[in-house]
Amino acid sequence: MHHPCLTCGACCAFFRVSFHWSEADPELGGQVPPELTESLRTHERVMRGTSQSNPRCVALDADIGRYSRCTIHDRRPSVCALVPASWEFGQASAQCDKARLAHGLPLLTPDDWIGVGEDEKNPLPEV
């Protein structure tokens, strides 16, 4: 069994991904590739493709519901790591559920995590 996000991608094609500009500033230690972002507001940048009426992150390589991967997963904005998959850590995620429903995908259940090793789960972000 593999992580359910690897066959989803709905959140990356549903939500606007906005974050503090410093996350895309290499001189300040930012890791998000600045060329994949655009200015949103004074202190915010946004992943290209996510501020349109039909959002889809420029870093998403996916056929929603079949396969999905973030091409900058190890350098993605912090807000991306804050959206857990439903039941990944024992509870439903309203954001995950909303994105999946918008793409016609069934909601995840605890059974979707049977066989997924702890080492395969996305680590909870430190807050």
Ranges under pLDDT 70 in the chain: 1, 122-127
- Is 82 inside a domain boundary? yes
The pLDDT of residue 120 is 75
Residue 120 lies in a domain: no
Note whether 86 and 93 are within 8 A (CB): yes
Does any domain span residue 103? yes
Cα torsion through 111, 91, 62, 54, rounded to 10: 130
pLDDT value at residue 119: 73
Q: Decide if 75 is inside a domain.
A: yes
Instruction: Supply the range of the domain harboring residue 18.
Output: 4-115
Residue 127: predicted pLDDT: 43
Quick: pLDDT tens for 65-102. 999 999 999 999 999 988 899 999 899 999 999 999 99
Question: For residue 52, is it within any domain?
Answer: yes
Overall pTM surpassing 0.85 (yes/no)? yes
**Is residue 121 situated within a structural domain?**
no
Domain membership of residue 57 (yes or no) is yes
Report the domain count for the chain. 1
For residue 125, being part of any structural domain is answered with no
Nearest to 98 by CA among 4, 34, 3, 13: 13
